[in-house]
Structure 1
């Protein structure tokens, strides 16, 4: 008869619980699986499956009881690590969403907003850009690179032995500027062209008041905007490739920066 002691059960629980907290926090903050449309059971199940997969290769774990102050500190630490890594990827995707917001405002699509299941109003063009970005990320196997980075993070940031370096969190905050820099870089050709058109229509409206903005301006902006979007899509793949490369590189740098000195 096989007998399992309490010490063995506790060791198995720790080997599963600590990585599960980091992985589940990552999936809650990541842009793809962190969406509210994804069922919570899917997020928990995938985090549990990956926890079982990475548990045999983990470094030696601290023998702190789960229901103790040390165990609570480890849970908070792993949650912060997973959340920080998930936010890094979300910032990468938000850059493309910001570009859709800029272009949609210039095209006049701010009147047509998309009501998502979580109750937030989003410009339709921003939601389309978000879907294209996520599909391209899956097409280039970016999710596999992220899973490999997650598994490697347990060697760079061992559980319970290190603590976190505040410089890593500061690096994550500074990376938030990517939303505005990369988003404006993508939207700049379309926004600049539409701005010139809007200025021209404003001058035309002053010289010929019968040519109102609603009768001439909106159709012109929408038509030209759709044409410019067609041209922009031909170079969107190259832009996303560079964005994914820099985002995944930053994810690895973030893990290294969170490691203590």
Structure 2
């Protein structure tokens, strides 16, 4: 099969095998890459993007050939490449999940959790989360995400050579640290909303203690909603700028343990 395809594509058998392995890793990354792997993008567009990225990355490798090795089955190498690609994509996707988590915490803190956004994610989530996620992905794409992602995929072969599985213990430690970092980042981004909600509830409790007959909850509900929207307007640029910087750091070193 490889000999026939190689003849059609005017490539050597080793070169075609190398391209298939590169495409396997790149395709797994593209499935989770923000902006390019979203569920609203048609599958044919995703396939075309994966082929384009695969061609670019394959041409950047110093040795894009895969020579026959009887000790390593080609199908097993494909599985390893897919797993490595999923690890790389997961490192980037966790940054988007941190932004969505920040939006959910902010909405819950400011009594805006009942306002759902539609179409951006498979599961319903507060509109603040959708706003931050869409704005963050747009900022990342506008700041050259495609170039950074291509460089990331090419550099990954320096750390994880083609067809060599990473140690399971290292993957477990890396995954635990990345998930913990995503939760910490999500809470940090939502900190202005949490602090404002704490101050609001503290003031509400003091007013209720001073005037038990007054229905402070009904009076204060519009205030916390308006305050949440005001904080979103003021804090969103800072949140997105900081998040984009963290995303760039992840793209530079997706396989390193977070500091």
The yes-or-no answer on 1:172 pairing with 2:175 is: yes
TM-score, normalised to structure 2, is: 0.83
Q: Which residue of 2 aligns with 1:259?
A: none
Which of 38, 47, 52 is the aligned partner of 1:49?
Answer: 52
> Matches of residues 58-69 of structure 1 in structure 2 within 5 Å?
58=61, 59=63, 60-63=65-68
Mark the CA change 1:41 to 1:216 in structure 2 (over 3 Å): closer, same or farther: same
Q: Which residue of 2 aligns with 1:258?
A: none
CA RMSD of aligned residues (A): 2.7
> Matches of residues 69-148 of structure 1 in structure 2 within 5 Å?
70-116=73-119, 119-148=122-151
Q: Deviation string for 1:32-62 (max 9, x for gaps)?
A: 2221101111111111122233334542314
CA distance in 2, matches of 1:39, 1:20: 19
> Matches of residues 171-250 of structure 1 in structure 2 within 5 Å?
171-205=174-208, 207-213=211-217, 215-250=218-253
Q: Which residue of 1 aligns with 2:27?
A: 24
CA distance in 2, matches of 1:149, 1:159: 15
Mark the CA change 1:147 to 1:169 in structure 2 (over 3 Å): closer, same or farther: farther
CA distance in 2, matches of 1:26, 1:33: 10
User: Structure 2 stretches of 5 or more lacking a match?
Assistant: 8-12
CA distance in 1, matches of 2:4, 2:132: 52
CA distance in 2, matches of 1:223, 1:137: 29
CA distance in 2, matches of 1:243, 1:227: 25
The yes-or-no answer on 1:156 pairing with 2:159 is: yes
Q: Deviation string for 1:10-41 (max 9, x for gaps)?
A: 44531321111111111112232221101111
**Contact residue 132 and residue 236 of structure 2 kept, 8 A:** no
Of 222-231 and 6-15, the range deviating more from structure 2? 6-15
TM-score, normalised to structure 1, is: 0.83
**Contact residue 20 and residue 51 of structure 1 kept, 8 A:** yes
Of 21-30 and 106-115, the range deviating more from structure 2? 106-115
- What is the CA-CA distance between 1:240 and the residue it aligns to? 2.4
CA distance in 1, matches of 2:48, 2:237: 38
**Contact residue 18 and residue 74 of structure 1 kept, 8 A:** yes
**Contact residue 24 and residue 78 of structure 2 kept, 8 A:** yes
**Contact residue 136 and residue 244 of structure 2 kept, 8 A:** no
Residues paired across the two proteins, number: 247
CA distance in 1, matches of 2:5, 2:194: 63
